[in-house]
Structures are given as C-alpha cells and as structure tokens.
Amino acid sequence: MSHLHIPDGILPGWLIMSGWLLTALILAFSIYRTKSTELKRKIPLIGIISALMIVCMTIPIVPIAYHINLSVIAGIILGPAVAFISIFIVDLIIAMFGHGGITVVGLNTVVVGAEAFIGFYLFQLFMIIIGRDSIMWSSGLAAVIALIISTSILVGVVYMSQVNPEIVIGIEGDNPTEVTNEGNIPDQLIKGINIKSFAKTILILLGIGWLLEGIITAFIIKYVSRVRPDLLFPQRT
Amino acid sequence: MDVAIIDYYANHGTSFLHKAKALWKIMFSALVIASIILTNEFYMLAGIYIALVTIAIWTKLPVSRIITIAAYPAIFALIFAFLVWNGSWVKVGVVVLKALAAALTMVLLIVTTPYPDVFNVLRPFLPRVIAEGLLVTYRSVFILLELTDELMKGLKVRGGLTRRKYLRNIKNFSSGIGLLLVKGFDYSEKFYGMMNIRGYGERIAAKDTKMSINRNDLLAILIGLLIFAIVITTVIDKRFLEFSIYIVACSILALVASAIYKQFVS
C-alpha cells in the first residue's frame, strides 16, 4: 500500500494539479501505446484486475493501517501501460467510496502506477537473473522492492507538500517559521511536517505490509503461472 | 465496505436525492468538496459534516451504515494528523473533519446514484478505454464478490484457514485470490463478449441524460450552492467567521429536527 490517504484540501493546489497533469500525460501515452495492440481484448482483463484491486484495497489490516494493493500483479499481468489505466480506474472508483480524497486521485495514480511499472520491470529482470523456475522469488522480490520505492515516492510527495511556492513567497527574513498563509493551506503544513518522524512511522507501519504483500504476490503469481500461464506471458505493451 | 449494499441502496432508494439526476448530484458533490477544500475552519467543517449527516437522514437509508462507510478514511486522516501534530487539537480536528466530510459527500453520491449513471456523466470527459474499463470493473466487482463468498466458505469447510498456521493460511488465501483472478477473468470475458453480441455500442444506457432540471435536481444543487456560498463568504471576508458557531448551531438544529421527523413521522 503506497496510497496517499490524505483528505481533500490538505495538499497544496500546485501539487494536486501536477499529479493530475502527470496522470493525464501518462494515461495519454499508455492509451496511445496500447492502441496498437488488442486493446479491446484487454478490457475484460482490465476490469477483473481493477475489481480484484478494489476488493483487496477495501480490506484494511487495522493494527498497521495497511491494505494490499496488488498493483505489482496488475503490472506483471497487464504490462505497465495497461496497468496504469487499470490503476487510474481503481483510484477513481475507490475515491467515490471516500477512500482517499477525490482531488488526490492524480497523485495516487502516479504513486501506485510507479509501483506497477517498477514491479513489472523488476519481475522481468529477476526472471532473467534467477530463472523462470523461481517465479515466486521473482514476483515476491519485485513486489517488495516496488513497494519500498513507491513508498519513498509517497514520502517525497508529502515532503514536497510543505515547500509550497506560495508559502516560500511568504517567508520573511531569516526566520523560516514566520510565514503567511496565502495559499489556503492548513497551518500545520505551514509550520512544516517533521519528515523524519513521518518517514519513520510510515516505514515501520508499512514494513510488515510489504513483506505480507510480497508473499501474497508470490503465491498468486505462482498459482496463475500454473493454471493460466497465458495471462502472465503474452506479448505485453 | 460492502459494495453490494451500496449498489442496493443506490438502486432501491426513494428519496429526493435518489430521484435527482446524476449530473446535478455530481455538481452538488463538486460544490461541497470545493467548500471542504476552501475552508480550514473547524466550525465551518463541523457545520458541513453535520449538514451532510442531515442529508443522509433525508435519503431514508440507514444513516449509521452510511456514516460507518464514510468513516473509513478517518483512520488514515488520524495518522496523518498526528504526524503533522503541532500541539493543537483543533488542527487534528480540521484534518479529520476534512476526511470525514469529503468521504461522506462521495458516499452520499454513490448510495443515491447507480454507478452506470455516474459513469455516463463522466463518459464525455474520458477516453473510451477508461469509460469501458469503469463499466467492466463495476460489473467485475460483483462477480468477484460472489466468487469470494464461495471461496471463503470453501476454504473454511476444507480447513484451508486454520488458527496459528499463518504461512499455510497466507498460501491458501493467495491461491484463492489467484483462483478468483482466473475465474473472474473467464466470467468477465464472457460478459464482455455477450455485451458486444447484444449490441453494446460504446455507450452505457442511463435512465435520463437530458439537461432538464426537476425540483429534486434543483433542491440538490441549491443545497450545494448554499454550502458553497457560506464557505466562500467566510473565505473572502474573515469577519463572517464570527458567525460560524451559529452555522454549526443551525446545522445541529436541522439534524435534530430531521432525526425527530424521521423517527416519529415517516
């Protein structure tokens, strides 16, 4: 889980707009790339993977506030371009359930999309290095590393949220704490997030989750490779 | 989160929000979300949240269930609020209320509007693959829920999920998800094939897509506009914030009156 469960109105507007813009650009590229392949044939697969992600995302593991994403599985099965489309659909639908803000959908898609992208390429790499017989290790390791990287992106996004250009304009003299709230940002963000404590808490909370998701991904991929290998090894976008 | 229950609520309600068209309800939601984004005042957010609970009562649906569904983001909002803790409980309240109010706005939309109607409004702004993907995903969620129910029963009956056998449980659970994926894909492919054979032509049929406006639509949009107007007034001129406590009081009054009306009259 590297979802931004941040409500609407907390992150600065420029960051939210950047997320939407980046998502629109990647979506346009993904659709452009996918058009050459059998896009129509992939729609049922997009539907079922997205639905599976939704079902899994809505089951929280309460003590550590974690939920599995299956985004790496989406990346491995759909390929990074189609997985990005699937992740956008998932984020849009779960935002309608109030699971994270609707304005944060763009940023969420970028962060979770990165997970699928990294997971896909790492899986391919590990399949070459470790070999096709160790599909469990390849997928599990790819999932854990992709989750670590995407969580780092999440921490980066939250860190960026406190360097709002509008706030920087308000800094007077040498005292960086005396700032004016010209950007309609909650005061706690103006005083700054303690990024170290944020990163520490996130990493401790999510560490167990990464391992769990890595194991689950490995077993799912192993199962699918036995039953429907054509889903894992077709020509991907 | 029970997707099936939400879908049932959306399709079987009789309130004014159920009767209002999806387009106007989306506009109502957009206005309320914009208000939540614009204000950082605790009392204003509390007023909006109480107003939304009042609207939840008007939907004639189980209010506690709706509030529970919309309360899920509060867990994460609390974590975030304490991470940015600066010693002020009011600020924690602001973050949590923003999450709760935004989530309740979206939940109110989906418990009163069938998903295909929402997608139909969004369709002109979305590429075909995403619009179709939304529809197939929506359909697939229900296929998966049915399959998940069968799978969990099967796993329990055959001893697939037992106490203290954590690794075995994870293995069986994961294989189960793999099975869901494979089965679900087969079902979804058949469903999509059937849709095409039956003449699906890149458009989801909705009840009413006309731009006409009836009194239910008008009421929905007026409530949204009222909330937005109050918030924007306090944002433009901070002096109006002095009255925010009265806004909360009015919201509470409306909530109590609605609750009493629901309890004794309807």
Question: Which tens digits make up the pLDDT trace of A75-95?
Answer: 999 889 999 999 999 999 888
More confident residue, B205 or B137: B137
- Confidence at residue A178, expressed as pLDDT on a 0 to 100 scale: 41
Whether residue B241 lies within 8 A of chain A, CB to CB, comes out as no
Residue of chain A whose Cα is closest to the Cα of B135: A47
Cβ–Cβ of A220/B181 closer than 8 Å? yes
Query: End of a domain among B197, B227, B249?
Result: B197
Does residue B208 form part of some domain?
no
Instruction: Grade residue A70 by pLDDT with cuts at 50, 70 and 90.
Output: confident
User: Do B134 and B106 belong to one domain?
Assistant: no
Q: Is A92 on the interface with B (CB under 8 A)?
A: yes
Q: What is the pLDDT of residue B29?
A: 93
Domain assignment present for B202: no
Q: Count the alpha carbons within 13 Å of A30 in the hemisphere toward its beta carbon.
A: 26
Examine the domain organization and report whether B57 and B76 are in the same domain: yes
Do residues B61 and B161 both lie within one domain?
no
CATH number, span A13-167+176-232:
1.10.1760.20
Are B61 and B14 contained in the same domain? yes
d(CA A13, CA A9): 8
Task: Measure A140 CA to nearest chain B CA, in Å.
Answer: 12
Can you list the alpha helix ranges (DSSP code H) found in B3-127?
A: 3-12, 16-19, 22-38, 42-58, 63-71, 73-83, 89-112, 115-122
pLDDT over 90 percentage in chain B:
23
Cα separation of B91 and A1, whole Å? 26
The structure tokens listed for A6 are 């941040």
Contact A46 B94 (CB under 8 A): no
Q: Are residues B70 and B39 in the same domain?
A: yes
Whether A100 and chain B come into contact, CB under 8 Å, resolves to yes
Q: Hey, is the C-beta of B4 within 8 angstroms of any chain A C-beta?
A: no
Partners of residue A9 in chain B, C-beta under 8 Å: 36-40, 98, 102
Q: Which residue matches tokens 């894992």?
A: A232
> Are residues B246 and B178 located together in one domain of the fold?
no
pLDDT of A200 over the 50 cut = yes
Lowest mean pLDDT segment, chosen from A70-84, A119-133, A166-180, B233-247: A166-180
Q: Is A227 on the interface with B (CB under 8 A)?
A: yes
The structural domains of chain A, with segments of one domain joined by +, span 13-167+176-232
The answer to whether the CB of B26 falls within 8 A of the CB of B118 is yes
Mean per-residue pLDDT over chain A, rounded: 78
Split into its structural domains, chain B has a count of: 2
Q: Are residues B98 and B174 in the same domain?
A: no
pLDDT for A66:
66
Model confidence band, residue B206 (pLDDT cutoffs 50, 70, 90): low
The whole-number pLDDT of residue A186 equals: 52
Compute CA distances B77 → A53, B16, B73, B74, B100, whole Å. Answer: 22, 31, 6, 5, 9
CA nearest B89 in A: which residue?
A: A188
| Sign of the dihedral through C-alpha A91, A93, A94, A95 | positive
Does B206 map to a domain? Answer: no
Is residue B134 within 8 A of residue B35, CB to CB? The reply is: no
SS3 state of residue B2: coil
B182–chain A nearest CA distance, Å: 7
Residues B24 and B114 in one domain: yes
Residues B146, B86 share a domain: no
Q: What are phi and psi of A175, to 5 degrees?
A: -95, 100
Q: Based on the fold, state whether residues B109 and B172 are members of the same structural domain.
A: no
B237 is a domain residue: yes
More confident of the two residues B119 and A202: B119
Asked if residue B170 is part of any domain, the answer here is yes
Give the end of a domain, one of B172, B197, B222: B197
Report pLDDT digits (tens) over A111-154. 999 999 999 999 999 998 887 778 899 999 999 999 999 888 88
- Residue B162's domain spans which residues? 125-197
Indicate the range of A12-26, A220-234, B12-26, B205-219 predicted with least confidence. Answer: B205-219
Q: Give A19 to chain B, closest Cα distance, Å.
A: 17
The H or E element spanning position B185 is helix B166-197
**Same-domain status, B36 and B92:** yes
Measure the CA–CA gap between A89 and B118, rounded to whole angstroms.
13
CB contact under 8 A, A220 and B72: no
Q: Are residues B25 and B109 in the same domain?
A: yes
B126 touches chain A (CB under 8 A): no
Residue B192 has its nearest CB partner, among A43, A100, A228, at A43
